[in-house]
Structure 1
Amino acid sequence: MFNQLTTLERSGTQFILGSITLAAVTLASLYVHSPFAATAFAYLVVILLFALMGSFIASLALSILSVATLAYVFTPPTFSPRIDDPQDLLVVVAFLTASIVGTHLIGKIRHKWEFARETAAKLRHSAADLHTREKLWRAIFEHNPAMYFMVDEAGTVLNVNTFGATQLGYTPVELIGLSVLQVFPKNDHELVSKCIGSCFTDIGQARTWDIQKIRKDGSVLWVRENAKAMLWAEDKPIVLIACEDITEQKRTGLALQRSEAHLAQAQELSHTGSFGWNAAGEVFWSKENFRLFGYDPDVKPTPQHVLDRTHPEDKASVQETLDRASRGEDFEHEYRLLMPDGSIKHIHALARATRTASGDVEFVGAAIDITAAKQTERQLRRSEAYLADAQQLSRTGTWAWDCHRRCFAYRSVEVSRLFGFDPEEPVTLEAIRSRIHPDDLPLQQEVQRRAIEQKSGNFEYDFRICLPDGAIRHIHAIAHAVLGSDGSTVELIGTHIDITEQHAARERLESTLAALRESEQRFRDYAETASDWLWETGPDHRLTLSEHTSATGLLATGAIGLPRWEIACDVEEEPEKWRQHRARLNAHLPFRDLIYRTISATGTAIYFRTSGKPFFDESGNFRGYRGVATDITAKIRADQAEQELRKAQADLAHVTRVTTLGELTASIAHEVNQPLAAIISNADACLGWIGRETPDVAGARRSVEWIIEDAMRASEVIRRVRTLAKKGDIERVALDINEVVNEAIALVTRELVNHQVTLRTELAPTLPAILGDRVQLQQVIINLVMNGIEAMQAVDDRTRELVVQSSKDNNGRVQLSVSDCGGGIAEDDRVRILDPFFTTKSTGLGMGLSICRSIIEAHGGRLSIVRKQEPGATFRFALPVAP
C-alpha cells in the first residue's frame, strides 16, 4: 500500500511539472510563432524527458494533454478542438503514437536500468558480505586449534592452516604445492591414497579414519582425520581434511592394550590361568583359564564347571578342596582334567583367601597346566631306562670305588650281570673278587693302587671273570681318579666292558684269515694251471669230442655222449637260462659265455664258461657245434671268498666300533650324566620357584625349558651311541663330511678333556657332498682321533693339539686329515702301519688302521700317511664327490 501511494505521488508530481513545462513551451511557441510541427516536436521532447522520471501514467497524461493543446491552439481552426486539415490530424496521430511508444520504451529502459542498478547494489553488498565471511572463515581456518588440509584429486596440498603446519613443524608455504603423502609414513601411503580416493568417489559424504603423521623432525603423532569432498571453483572437487591430535589417547590405549596383551601372553606362555571366587558364589576366570578347561569364554563359570572337567578318579579330592575353600581356607592341590577329546591335562591349582572391606571372604588364585612338566618327568625316567638299556646292550657296567671306605660307592645293574649275579640281590666285595680269575686278581689290585697314587689319566687293564657254569668272560676295564679338596684320591670311577665277543671274534678272524689265505693260494694254483679246452657236439647236441677234459677234473668217459644239460647240475635252479640256450641250439644260432655248474670226479662243484658256433657240411646240412670252454671255478670261488672276506671285514668293523664305544663308555656316561644332573638341579629350582608364597612362574618356566633342553641333549647322546652300536648293511647316501666330523667329535669330547688334548677344526665351508655310509665314516674319524690322543699321552713339553681339517684336493675330491703332535711314526713302521695285525701299541690288536683303510677303499678313496717336518703324524683320506 505504501509503495502504491509513493507511486501515485511521484506520478502526480511528474504530471504537474510536465504540465508547467508544456505550458512554458506553448507560451514560447506562441511568442515566436513556432510552426505546428516544431511545437509538436518540442512537446514530444518534453514528454520523453519526463518519461525518464519513471511514471508511464503521468507521461501518458502529458501526451494526451499535449495532443489537446496542439489541437486546440495550433491547428486551424485556432482555439477549437476540431482539426480540419487532414495533414494536421495525421501529425497529431503520429505525435500521440510516438509519444506513447517512446514513453513506453523509455519506461522499459528506465526499468531495466533501475533493475541493473539494484542488482549492482546487491552485488556490492554480497561482495562485501562475502569478503567479511571470508575474513571470518580464514580467521577460523588459520587459528582454529585443529589441523586443516585442503587437497585436490592429485593429492596435492592446496591449503593448510597455520596451526596444522606448526603442529607438523612446517610453515604453510613449505607444505602448499607438495604431495600430502609427504607427512605420512611410507607404509601408510597406499591407505591414505585409498581413503582420499573414497572421498572423491562419494562427494559430500564425510569419512573418518585414524592414522599416523610424520613431523618434520621425524617424530610421529596420531590423528583422527575427518574428510569430506566438495566442489570448488569451476566445479573442481577438493577434499577438506580436519585432523584431531589423538596421540596421547592412542598411547594410553596402546599401553593398556599392551599391558593386557602381555598379561594374556604371559598366562598363555606359562599355561597359567587366574581366577577369582567371592562369597556370593560368583566365579571370574581369565581367558587362559577358559582355554585350560576347554570352555567358551561366553560361558559363565561356576565350581561345577571345574568338577565336570575333572578326571573321575580325582573328583573326590577336588570336591574336598572346594568344601575346604568354602570354609575360608587356602588351598593348593594337583588334579587331572579329562578333556572332551579324551586327552589328559595335569593342573596345579593354588588360591589364597582375602577379606574384602565388607568382611566377605574372596579367593584369588591360579591354575597352572603342568602337563609338560609331567611329560618331562616321564621322559627323564625314560632316559634313565635308556641309559640302563644302553649299558645292557653294549654290555658295559659303570662303578665308583670309595678309596677311604674301600667299598663300592656306586655299582650299576650291568656290573652285577657281568659277574653273573642277580641285580636284585646284594653282593659283597668278596663275592665279586671270587669271580675274578686268580691269575688276573693281583694285576687288578696293582692297577688300582697305581691309579690311587698317580691321581691323573685313565687306567686300562683286561681281566677274566670265571662264571659258575665254567664260562669265561673277558672284561676290559677303564678307570680314572677323582681327587678331593686336599688333593688326595677319594674315588675311582670306571667301567667294565664285556669284550668276550670281540676276543672270540679276533680269534675267529685270525683263523678265517688263515683259511682265506689258504683258499686264495689254492684258487691261485687252479687259475695258474687251468687252460681253455675244446669241445664238439653232433646234430643231437651230444658231446663227441673233449680235449683236456681230464685236466679240469671232469672224466672224459663220463662226458662223451651226453648233452650239456645232462652234464650240468643247475638245470632245475635256472630253467629259464637253459630254455633260452636250447632254443638257440635248435635255431642253429651261435652262443657266447654260457656259465653252468657241474660236479667233478672228486665230488666238488666246478664252473665252466663256454661258447659255441654251429657248423654245416658242404650241402648246408647242420652237423653240430664246435666251441671252447674255460674252467672258471677259481674265479667264482674267489668272488665268493671276497664276499665272505668283506662280510668278515664288516663284522670286524662292527666289533671294533663296539670296542671303541666300550672305551668311550666313561665319556658317554659323563655326557649323559651331565644333562641328567642339570635336569635334577633345574627340577629342584622349578619346585622352588613354584613353592614360593607368590610363585615365580617365569622362573619355573625357564627351569622347565632348561630341563627339556638337557633331556634332548641326553637323548641325542644315546641316539649316537645306538647308531654306532647298530649292526646293519652299508647304506650309501649323500653326506656332508663336516657334519660327519662334528657328530664323531661329539662322542670323543670327553676323551679329549681327560687327556688334556686341544682340538682345533679347520673345516672348509660349502664342500660338495660325498656318497658314503655315515656310521663307517664316523668309525674312521673316531679311530684316527683316538689314535692321535693316544699318540700324545707322553707329550709333556708342548701343547697337546689335535687338528682336523677338511678341504678339496687338486682332483676335486673331498679331503680330510687328522694331525697330532705326538712322537710320530718311525720310518720302518710307516710302510706296515696300515697292514692288519701290525701295531706299535703294547695292548693294541693292529686292526684299527687296517679297518679304516678298508672302509675308505670301499668308498672309492685312499687312506695315506702325510710326511711333515714338525713332530707328530698326519693321516689323510680323500673321497670322490657324489655324482
Structure 2
Amino acid sequence: MSRSSPLQWSRRSALVNYAVAVLSVVAALVAALLLEPDMHSSPFVSLSLCAIMFSAWFGGLGPGLFATALSVAGFTYYFVPPIGFAVAPTDLPRVVLLAVTALFVVWLNVARRGTESALRRSEAYLADAQRLSHTGSFGWRIASGNIVWSKETYRIFGVDETVKPTSDLILQCVHPDDRELVLHEINRAALGKPSYDYEHRLLMPNGAIKHLTVRTHRVKYESGEEELVGALMDVTATRETQEALDTARAELARVTRVTALGQMSASIAHEVNQPLAAIATSASAGLRWLTREVPEIGEARACVNHIAEEANRASEIMRSIRDLARRADPEVVALDINAVIDETVALVKQEALNHRVTVQVQLAPELPLVRGDRIQLQQVIINLAINGIQAMVAGIDRARVLTIRTERRESDQVLVAVQDVGIGTEPEGLDRLFAAFYTTKPDGMGMGLSICRSIIEAHGGRVWASRNIGPGMTFQFTVSAYR
C-alpha cells in the first residue's frame, strides 16, 4: 500500500482549506440570494463575514484572504447596482467598507488562531517536559476544594484521567505509613500555610512503592480567591540509586575494616593472648590453693574471680573484632566518644608497639554525648591511627608519638584529633588526601580516608588534615552532640 509523502499531504491540506473557503462564500451567496426577496435588505454582508470568519479560522490567512476576495467580488456583482462588476461612485464606500471589515475579521481570526496554536505548542512542550522529567503539576482551589491534575500527575498516581482528583483519592494512594504526614500537610495548607515542601511514598496497586517530592506555593488572585499551585516529582529512581550507592559504600567500608583488621592481626592476637594467659595463670594458682593440705578457699575464690574478669575482657575484645568485621546497618545512638577512643586504642596499641610508636591519649573531661554509630566511628579512628603509625615507620630518627585527643567545639560539636610526627604531606597534596583512590603508599588502595570522609559527613560533621608546625600531620574530625 502506497503512503502519501508529507509534501503531498501538505498540498492536499491546502486544497481542502481553499475549497472550504470557496464553499463557504458560495453558501453565503446562495443563502443571501434566496433570502433577499423575503428580507427588505440584503443579508449577504453578514453572511459573507461569517463565511470569511469560518475560512480564516479553518484554513488560516490564505483561505481567509481568498474568501474576502470572493465575497467582495460576489457582493459587487450581485448586490451593487448596476448589476455586474461596474461600481457606481456612490456605492464604492459600501464595497470598501466590506473589504476593510472582512480584512479586519481575517486578521482577528488569524491572530487568535496563532495564539491558540502557540498555546497548544506550549501545552505540548510542557506535557513532554513533565513526562521526561517525571514531574507533574496540580492546582487546588482552597474555597471550592476543586483539584486539577496534569496528565503526568495522573500517570504518577496511576489513576485514570477520567477520575476527578480529591483529597480522599490522594490519601488512598499514599503509603499507609505516610498518610498521617500527608494529611497533616494538607490540613496545614488549608489553614493558610503559604508553601510546603516534603517527601512521601505512594503504594501502587501492584505493590510497588514510589517516592515523591511535593512542592507548592499559594497564589491569591484579584478576585480574592486563593489557589495552591504545586509540582510533584517522581524521585523513585533517584532514591533506589541512592540506596544502592549506600549499600555499596557500606560494603566497601566493611571490606576496608576487614583489611584494617588484617593489618592489625598481630595486635589482635596480642590483645586476645593477654587475658588468655591471665586466665591460665589464675587457673593454675587456684588449683594450687585448692590442693594444699588445708585448701585456701579465699585465695582460690580470688583466682576464680580473676578468671571471670579476664574471660569477660577477652569476650569484649572478640565482640569488638566481630562488630568491626560484620556487615550491619548503621545504628545511630548516643555515644561517649572518649569510651569509643579507649576501645579503639586497645585494638591498635600492639600495632603501635610493634613499630615502636607510643600512643598518647588526651581526652577532655565532661564531654557531651555524641550522636553516631559506634562501629563506624571506631573505623574512622582506626584508619587515622594506622595512617599515623605507618607515617612514622620509615626514616624517622626521633621519638615516634601518636597523640589522640578530644575537645569540645562550640555548644554542639566534639572534635577528635589524631596527630603524628611522621613524614607529612606536601601542601599541594592536602586537598587530595580524602579523594577516592588517591594514595601516597606504594601498596595502598586510596579508599581509607575517602571512607572516613563519607562516614563523618553522614554523621553531620567534617574531616580535614593539616601540617603540624613541627614534623608530621594532624587529622581532625567533628561529630555532633546528641540532642
TM > 0.5 = yes
One-letter code aligned to 1:799: A
Match of 1:873 among 467, 473, 477: 473
Structure 1 match to 2:282:
682
Tell me the distance in 1 between the aligned counterparts of 2:191 and 2:377.
Answer: 51
One-letter code aligned to 2:355: H
Match of 1:740, SS?
helix
Question: Given the superposition, is the C-alpha separation of residues 872 and 612 from structure 1 closer, same or farther in structure 2, using an over 3 Å criterion?
Answer: closer
Tell me the distance in 1 between the aligned counterparts of 2:389 and 2:191.
Answer: 67
TM-superposition CA deviations, 1:359-381 (whole Å, max 9, x none): xxxxxxxxxxxxxxxxxxxxxxx
One-letter code aligned to 2:450: S
Structure 1 match to 2:84:
none
Equivalent residue runs for 1:78-227 within 5 Å? none
Match of 2:165 among 561, 564, 589: 564
TM-superposition CA deviations, 1:291-331 (whole Å, max 9, x none): xxxxxxxxxxxxxxxxxxxxxxxxxxxxxxxxxxxxxxxxx
Question: Given the superposition, is the C-alpha separation of residues 821 and 570 from structure 1 closer, same or farther in structure 2, using an over 3 Å criterion?
Answer: same
Structure 1 match to 2:333:
733
Structure 2 match to 1:751:
351
Question: C-alpha displacement at 1:565, in angstroms?
Answer: 6.7
Structure 2 match to 1:720:
320
- For the 8 Å contact 1:590–1:614, the answer to whether it is kept is no
Match of 1:794 among 374, 389, 394: 394
RMSD: 4.8
Structure 2 match to 1:769:
369
Identity over aligned pairs, percent: 39
One-letter code aligned to 2:478: A
Tell me the distance in 2 between the aligned counterparts of 1:711 and 1:540.
Answer: 70
Structure 1 match to 2:451:
851
TM-superposition CA deviations, 1:233-291 (whole Å, max 9, x none): xxxxxxxxxxxxxxxxxxxxxxxxxxxxxxxxxxxxxxxxxxxxxxxxxxxxxxxxxxx
Question: Given the superposition, is the C-alpha separation of residues 735 and 561 from structure 1 closer, same or farther in structure 2, using an over 3 Å criterion?
Answer: closer
One-letter code aligned to 1:748: V
- For the 8 Å contact 1:736–1:769, the answer to whether it is kept is yes
1:804 aligns with 2:404: yes
Q: TM-score, normalised by structure 2?
A: 0.56
Match of 1:870, SS?
coil
Question: C-alpha displacement at 1:824, in angstroms?
Answer: 0.8
Question: Given the superposition, is the C-alpha separation of residues 565 and 865 from structure 1 closer, same or farther in structure 2, using an over 3 Å criterion?
Answer: same
Unaligned runs of 5+ residues in structure 2 are 1-128
1:863 aligns with 2:458: no
Match of 1:803, SS?
strand
Structure 1 match to 2:267:
667
Question: Given the superposition, is the C-alpha separation of residues 606 and 562 from structure 1 closer, same or farther in structure 2, using an over 3 Å criterion?
Answer: farther
Match of 1:874, SS?
strand
Higher relative contact order (CA 8 A, sep 6+): 2
One-letter code aligned to 1:794: A
Tell me the distance in 1 between the aligned counterparts of 2:385 and 2:350.
Answer: 12
- For the 8 Å contact 2:218–2:229, the answer to whether it is kept is no
- For the 8 Å contact 2:174–2:201, the answer to whether it is kept is no
Question: Given the superposition, is the C-alpha separation of residues 848 and 563 from structure 1 closer, same or farther in structure 2, using an over 3 Å criterion?
Answer: same
Question: C-alpha displacement at 1:857, in angstroms?
Answer: 2.0
Tell me the distance in 2 between the aligned counterparts of 1:598 and 1:768.
Answer: 41
Equivalent residue runs for 1:302-321 within 5 Å? none
Match of 1:759, SS?
strand
Equivalent residue runs for 1:439-458 within 5 Å? none
Structure 2 match to 1:632:
233
TM-superposition CA deviations, 1:415-464 (whole Å, max 9, x none): xxxxxxxxxxxxxxxxxxxxxxxxxxxxxxxxxxxxxxxxxxxxxxxxxx
- For the 8 Å contact 1:792–1:800, the answer to whether it is kept is yes
Larger CA deviation: 744-753 vs 861-870: 861-870
Match of 2:432, SS?
coil
Tell me the distance in 2 between the aligned counterparts of 1:590 and 1:697.
Answer: 79
Tell me the distance in 2 between the aligned counterparts of 1:747 and 1:785.
Answer: 10
- For the 8 Å contact 1:570–1:597, the answer to whether it is kept is no
Question: Given the superposition, is the C-alpha separation of residues 733 and 626 from structure 1 closer, same or farther in structure 2, using an over 3 Å criterion?
Answer: closer
Question: Given the superposition, is the C-alpha separation of residues 768 and 607 from structure 1 closer, same or farther in structure 2, using an over 3 Å criterion?
Answer: closer
Question: Given the superposition, is the C-alpha separation of residues 671 and 532 from structure 1 closer, same or farther in structure 2, using an over 3 Å criterion?
Answer: closer
Tell me the distance in 2 between the aligned counterparts of 1:542 and 1:732.
Answer: 41
Who wins on radius of gyration, i.e. which is larger?
A: 1
- For the 8 Å contact 1:589–1:614, the answer to whether it is kept is no
Match of 1:655 among 252, 255, 259: 255
- For the 8 Å contact 1:610–1:627, the answer to whether it is kept is no
Match of 2:255, SS?
helix
Question: C-alpha displacement at 1:697, in angstroms?
Answer: 5.5
Question: Given the superposition, is the C-alpha separation of residues 637 and 607 from structure 1 closer, same or farther in structure 2, using an over 3 Å criterion?
Answer: same
Tell me the distance in 1 between the aligned counterparts of 2:299 and 2:147.
Answer: 93
Question: C-alpha displacement at 1:573, in angstroms?
Answer: 5.3
- For the 8 Å contact 2:384–2:418, the answer to whether it is kept is yes
Match of 2:419 among 819, 839, 844: 819
Structure 2 match to 1:830:
430
Larger strand percent: 1
- For the 8 Å contact 1:803–1:818, the answer to whether it is kept is yes
Tell me the distance in 1 between the aligned counterparts of 2:289 and 2:191.
Answer: 91
One-letter code aligned to 1:878: T
Question: Given the superposition, is the C-alpha separation of residues 577 and 774 from structure 1 closer, same or farther in structure 2, using an over 3 Å criterion?
Answer: closer
Unaligned runs of 5+ residues in structure 1 are 1-524
Match of 1:564, SS?
coil
Question: C-alpha displacement at 1:799, in angstroms?
Answer: 1.8
One-letter code aligned to 1:747: L
Question: C-alpha displacement at 1:802, in angstroms?
Answer: 0.5
Question: C-alpha displacement at 1:627, in angstroms?
Answer: 6.2
One-letter code aligned to 2:469: Q
**Aligned residue pair count:** 337
- For the 8 Å contact 1:589–1:613, the answer to whether it is kept is no
Equivalent residue runs for 1:597-616 within 5 Å? 609=214
One-letter code aligned to 1:731: E
Question: Given the superposition, is the C-alpha separation of residues 828 and 705 from structure 1 closer, same or farther in structure 2, using an over 3 Å criterion?
Answer: same
TM-superposition CA deviations, 1:700-733 (whole Å, max 9, x none): 5554444344333322322322333444343333
Tell me the distance in 2 between the aligned counterparts of 1:647 and 1:658.
Answer: 17
